[in-house]
Every structure is written in C-alpha cells, then in structure tokens.
C-alpha cells in the first residue's frame, strides 16, 4: 500500500514546509499540503505577486494565519525555521533552489523534471544523500492506482511485444521547455515502472509552430509543440510515443501488447485500466482470432497527488528514501529526455544510453520488485 502519514499527537510534530511556486500545478500541491494534518505550511513563495494574491484568497479558509506570503525564496530559506520545501518553479530554476535547500539540510519535493541536465540532477541526488535528507520528484502518475495495478497485471498478457502511447491536447503551452520535456516524461516514467527497466537507445523528431523563436541549449531550433519518439529496451521491446500541445483530439492513452492480450491505460475512459485478451491461431488459410475477452481491472479510488504528498511526509518521518519516485529515478528520466533531445537535434538519429549497470549511469531504475504499491 502507498505509505500514508499518520496524524500527529501534538502540533509540534508537524513538518514545517515552504511552498515555492503557486502557478497552475503549484496550487494543487499547496492545497494538498494545507490539508495534510502532518504539515504546517510556514511560507508560500512566488516572485509574481498575482499568483500570491490569488492563492492567498483561494486558500484563506485553510491556510494558517501565520503563513508568510513572500516573493523572495532566499528570504524563506535564510530567515525561517523549515524542515522541507516544495519546488514548483520553472524547470531552469530548479537546480539553484534545490541545491540551496539541500545544502541547508532541508528535504525537497520537486516538480518534474528534476533539472534540465544529467550532471545537475546527479549532483543534487548525491548532495541529498550526503546530507541524509529526502529528495523526491513529483512524478505523480507513479502514485496513480491504475499504474500500480498495471505493474502487477502486465504479467497476465504474456510475452511482451511492443507498446505505444499518445498524450495530446490543446494547451497548456509551456514557455520554459518543449512538449517533450513537459509531456513525454509522464509516459516514459510509466513505461519504465511497468517494465522495471529503462531504454538502451532512443530516437525522436519534433515539429514546432508556436515558439520557434525560443531557442535553448536543449532546443536550438525552438520549442517543439509536437513530438514523435521511440524507446528501445534491452530485451528488444519498443514503444512508439506521440505528444502534442496543439491537437484538439485530447488523448491520454497507453497500451502494452503481449502475445496473450493488450494492457490498456486510458486515463479519460470511464474504465481506465483494462486487459483486452486475444490470440491468433493458425488456420489452413491464414490466422484467426481466438480466446477473446475483456477484463476491467478494479481500482481503489485515490487522488495521486494526495498520495504523493503523503509519501513525501512519510519518507521524511521515517528517514526512508523513496522506492517510488526518488531523486535518482528523476535523474534517470532526465537522462532519457536529454538523449531524446539530442536525437531531435540530429533529426531523429538513434542515441544510446549507458547500460543500467554501468557505474556512470543513474543508481536505480523504477521501483524495486518487492516494493509495496498495492
């Protein structure tokens, strides 16, 4: 079961947290921590005053009266007594903020991606380890009941053949990273989690219409709105992925195809996780479908973001590194995204990643087989 923090016996047992960034996603994080009985939100920080004003008005009924509303994150780190920070700021700011917090011995929950470079991500993981503090990345899908159930169900579809995923919608369009870094990270995290592995080589192509003038080191040709990517794993399993910010056909769908059936996660469907069973049998003339059936996998209702926030609190209280979404896992996903970005720069060239047992690669991939995720 996902770890849920227990209710404290005294006010002093609560964790003092600062929330950094209260834009669209940061507001959801703030709501969860304000409602968590094990947490006191000591400060809310955002450099844009309208964000602060909106949050202060929205959460006036549940925010402690002594919560400080600040525009300068350094003031919070230097002047307040804190146990942890939650970072939901633009990706290019993550390294500086997280490094400063970890250096002060604070636990950190960071919005994905952890950073925009492998070197910075690994440095933060090593710093957290040296200072014996928790660094967890907000890969919220890993806390979705459908993803935990799907990991157990994947064995029911037989020998795996290939996979595919589509994540498209009309906005929101990010200004700091392209659609690859915004959208692909979700499906790569799910695939790696389900397969218990990570790709050995990747390729990607991108197309931009909206922000070609925004050139970055990762995206020298501008921020791509639409991405096509392929991931190949060591056992030969391949997955084709499609992402877009400007497709009116909103989809959140992933499938893993095996020789006995297909595991389908459709986030927008009434029954989000199903197995479509079926095989082909040889006939005198050709092949024919056989053993076809459909199984809806039951799920226990749980808000994934709430489960993530409770997991962060639990890991701090138990001084226990996350087995679900640690900084090391976040760093590994950054490594995959950097490789995909490099492939895009090279017009779709295959890019190899270090083998998972190479000493230069990231420490851990996915969740250990014995982790309790039910």
Q: What is the pLDDT of residues 201-245, one digit of tens each?
A: 999 999 999 988 888 888 888 899 999 999 999 999 999 999 999
Query: Residue 13: pLDDT band by 50, 70, 90 thresholds?
Result: low
Confidence check: pLDDT of 373 > 60: no
Based on the fold, state whether residues 127 and 266 are members of the same structural domain: no
DSSP label of 216: -
Residue 321 has a CB neighbour count (10 Å cut-off) of: 17
| pTM of this structure | 0.89
**pLDDT at position 363, please?**
37
**pLDDT > 70: percent of the chain:** 91
**pLDDT at position 264, please?**
98
d(C-alpha 314, C-alpha 52), whole Å: 28
Confidence check: pLDDT of 366 > 50: no
d(C-alpha 137, C-alpha 334), whole Å: 11
Domain count, the chain: 2
Based on the fold, state whether residues 348 and 216 are members of the same structural domain: yes
Q: How far is CA 57 from CA 26, 48, 49, in A?
A: 15, 15, 12
Residue 368 lies in a domain: no
Q: How far is CA 105 from CA 76, 130, 134, 191, in A?
A: 14, 10, 9, 33
Residue 260 lies in a domain: yes
Mean pLDDT of the chain: 90
Quick one: which H or E segment has residue 241?
strand 238-244
Residue 137 lies in a domain: yes
Give pLDDT tens digits for 100-121: 999 999 999 999 999 999 999 9
Residue 365 lies in a domain: no
Asked whether 194 and 296 are in contact (CB, 8 A), the reply is no
Residue 318 burial (CB < 10 Å; 0-12/13-18/19+)? exposed
Based on the fold, state whether residues 264 and 309 are members of the same structural domain: no
The three-class DSSP label of residue 248 is: strand
Confidence check: pLDDT of 12 > 60: no
Based on the fold, state whether residues 320 and 340 are members of the same structural domain: no
Domain CATH number, residue 311: 3.40.50.720
**pLDDT at position 221, please?**
85
pLDDT higher at 362 or 283: 283
Give pLDDT tens digits for 239-278: 999 999 999 999 999 999 999 999 999 999 999 999 999 9
Query: Residue 364: pLDDT band by 50, 70, 90 thresholds?
Result: very low
Confidence check: pLDDT of 1 > 70: no
**pLDDT at position 31, please?**
98
d(C-alpha 290, C-alpha 284), whole Å: 15
Based on the fold, state whether residues 93 and 204 are members of the same structural domain: no
**pLDDT at position 216, please?**
84
**pLDDT at position 137, please?**
98
Range of the domain at 269: 145-300+332-352
**pLDDT at position 355, please?**
42
Confidence check: pLDDT of 343 > 50: yes
Place of tokens 């404290």: 8
Q: What does the angle CA 209 – CA 211 – CA 213 come to, to the nearest 5 degrees?
A: 115
């Amino acid at each position: 079961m996902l770890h849920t923090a227990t209710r404290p016996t005294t006010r002093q047992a609560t964790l003092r947290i600062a929330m950094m960034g209260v834009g669209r996603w940061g507001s959801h994080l703030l709501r969860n921590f304000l409602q968590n009985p094990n947490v006191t939100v000591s400060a809310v920080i955002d450099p844009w005053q309208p964000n602060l004003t909106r949050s202060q008005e929205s959460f006036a009924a549940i925010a402690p009266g002594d919560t400080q509303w600040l525009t300068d994150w350094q003031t919070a780190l230097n002047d307040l007594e804190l146990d942890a920070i939650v970072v939901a700021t633009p990706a290019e700011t993550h390294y500086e903020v997280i490094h400063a917090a970890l250096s002060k011995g604070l636990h950190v929950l960071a919005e994905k991606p952890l950073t925009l470079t492998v070197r910075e991500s690994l440095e933060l993981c090593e710093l957290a380890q040296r200072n014996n503090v928790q660094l967890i990345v907000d890969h919220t899908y890993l806390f979705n009941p459908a993803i935990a159930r799907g990991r157990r169900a994947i064995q029911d579809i037989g020998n795996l053949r290939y996979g595919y995923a589509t994540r498209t919608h009309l906005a929101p369009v990010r200004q700091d990273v392209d659609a690859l870094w915004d959208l692909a990270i979700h499906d790569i995290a799910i695939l790696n989690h389900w397969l218990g592995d990570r790709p050995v080589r990747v390729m990607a192509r991108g197309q931009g219409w909206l922000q070609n003038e925004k050139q970055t080191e990762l995206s020298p040709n501008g921020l791509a709105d639409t991405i096509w990517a392929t991931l190949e794993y060591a056992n030969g399993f391949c997955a084709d992925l499609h992402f877009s910010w400007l497709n009116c056909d909103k989809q959140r769908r992933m499938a893993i195809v095996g020789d006995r059936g297909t595991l389908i996660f459709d986030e927008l469907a009434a029954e989000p996780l199903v197995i479509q069973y079926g095989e082909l049998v040889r006939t005198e003339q050709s092949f024919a479908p056989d053993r076809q059936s459909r199984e809806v996998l039951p799920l226990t209702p749980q808000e994934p973001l709430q489960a993530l926030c409770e997991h962060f609190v639990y890991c701090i209280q138990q001084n226990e590194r996350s087995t679900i979404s640690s900084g090391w896992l976040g760093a590994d996903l950054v490594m995959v995204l950097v490789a995909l970005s490099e492939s895009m720069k090279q017009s779709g060239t295959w890019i190899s990643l270090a083998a998972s047992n190479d000493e230069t690669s990231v420490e851990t991939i996915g969740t250990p087989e014995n982790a309790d995720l039910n």
